[in-house]
Amino acid sequence: MKYQHTKTSRLGNRMSNEDRIGIAEVDGRVLLVLADGMGGYRGGQLAATALVNSMLRQFQLHRQTIAEPFAFLKVLIADAHRAVIHKGIEQYPPVEPRTTCVVCLIQHGHAWWAHVGDSRLYLFRDGHVLSRTRDHSKIENLLGAGKISARELKNHPQRNLVTRCVGDRKRPPVPTFSEKTALEKKDIFLLCSDGLWAAIDDDYMAETLQQTTLNKAVDRLAYQAEFRSYPEADNISVIALRWISDESERQAENDVEEDELAQTLKALDAALEKQ
């Protein structure tokens, strides 16, 4: 299995960063996870940290192929929910921390993902958005009902109202699951908190990811989100993964070298034509 990945997390104009991100690989499987602690409740950082740590720990203990990926993701979220509640009870005085969650599992050239809240997963293919999670939020419901337009989302007074979360003792999380998705070479996964997507539109994301390396693209997106949101920039966190191949490491590296050589020759030809 061959892929490239990068991640970043920026403070924005907040006093603290309540986002948490994580990635792990075990025996040819990859887990990506992002959590955005809910600042309206005490302990957003606690919730996000507990969720990411719980999921990565459970994933790393699983040493075999995951036969039922959706069931596995459901268990990860349920266990993380309990971990968040327990972390809140441990505090003195006790708190009720809550967080969003988006998590993606990749194995054998396929991907499965789930989310709770308004943190998003995008799947880009050939420079376009192939798939995007739908937010569990008040404004997403209004948009789906045709009561507001997409242009009104960013400035709507209820844009921060999340309808589902992890850590609410009275309402266990109800995740939304993707379909099993076969991956193609150069597919890009991007998981992000609302600090990114609230400031950057989907087309700009797709264009930026196509124009440069994954590291530079993610840094540029995060910087632009912070710049465009100033002076009210939220925490901005991103994980991105570019899929290359499910082949052996050596064959995949050869493919990458051939792609890089082709790009170099193309650039050289273009330079010679200008002379």
Q: Could you write out the DSSP letters of every residue in 106-142?
A: EETTEEEEEEESS-EEEEEETTEEEEEPPP-BHHHHH
φ, ψ of residue 229 in degrees (nearest 5):
-90, -10
25 φ/ψ angles, rounded to the nearest 5 degrees: -125, 130
The answer to whether the beta carbons of residues 126 and 185 sit under 8 Å apart is no
Lowest mean pLDDT among 81-90, 143-152, 216-225: 143-152
Per the structure block, which two tokens stand in for 76? 């990860």
Identify the band that residue 266 occupies on the pLDDT scale cut at 50, 70 and 90. Answer: low
Q: Residue 268's pLDDT is what?
A: 55
> Please, which residues have CB within 8 angstroms of residue 94's CB and are 6 or more apart in sequence?
88
| 256 pLDDT higher than 60 | no
Q: What pLDDT is stored for residue 112 in this prediction?
A: 99
In order of 10, 12, 112, 256, the CA distances from 260 in angstroms are: 31, 35, 29, 6
- How many Cβ atoms from other residues are within 10 Å of residue 165's Cβ? 24
Structural domains of the chain sorted by starting position, each given as residue range(s) with its CATH number in brackets: 2-247 (3.60.40.10)
263: alpha, beta or left? (left if phi > 0; alpha if psi -120 to 50): alpha
Q: How far is CA 254 from CA 27, 28, 110, 244, 261, in A?
A: 21, 19, 22, 11, 10
Given this model, what pLDDT does residue 259 score? 53
Residue 115: pLDDT over 70? yes
Residues 149, 140 contacting (CB under 8 angstroms):
no
Least confident of 38-47, 101-110, 252-261, 264-273: 252-261
Angstrom CA distances, 96 to 37, 83, 102, 115, 138, stand at 11, 12, 20, 20, 21
**pLDDT for res 150:** 73
**Phi and psi for 262 in degrees, rounded to 5?**
-60, -40
At residue 145, does pLDDT exceed 90?
Answer: no
Q: Which of 10-19, 85-94, 201-210, 246-255 has the lowest mean pLDDT?
A: 246-255
Dihedral sign for Cα 20, 26, 31, 32, please. Answer: positive
Whether the link from the prior residue into 173 is cis, omega within 30° of 0, is: no
- Computed over every residue of the chain, the mean pLDDT equals 90
Q: What percent of the chain has pLDDT over 70?
A: 89
Residue range 23-41: mean pLDDT, rounded: 92
Task: For residues 81-107, give the mean pLDDT.
Answer: 96
Per-residue confidence (pLDDT) for residue 72, from 0 to 100: 98
For residue 193, give the nearest of 150, 127, 239 by alpha carbon. Answer: 239
Work out the average pLDDT over 144-165: 81
pLDDT-derived band at 83 (thresholds 50, 70, 90) equals: very high
pLDDT at 241 over 90: yes
Quick one: pLDDT at residue 40? 67
pLDDT of res. 90:
95
How high is the pLDDT of residue 246?
A: 83
Q: Is the pLDDT of residue 201 over 70?
A: yes
pLDDT digits (tens, 9 = 90+) for 39-53: 766 799 999 999 999
Close Cβ partners of 125 (under 8 Å, ≥ 6 residues apart): 184, 186, 187, 188
Would you state the pLDDT for residue 270? 57
What residue type is 216 in one-letter code?
K
Whether the predicted pLDDT of 36 surpasses 50: yes
CB atoms within 10 A of CB 259: 13
Q: How far is CA 25 from the centre of its chain?
A: 16
| pLDDT of 260 above 90 | no
Secondary structure (3-state) at 175: coil
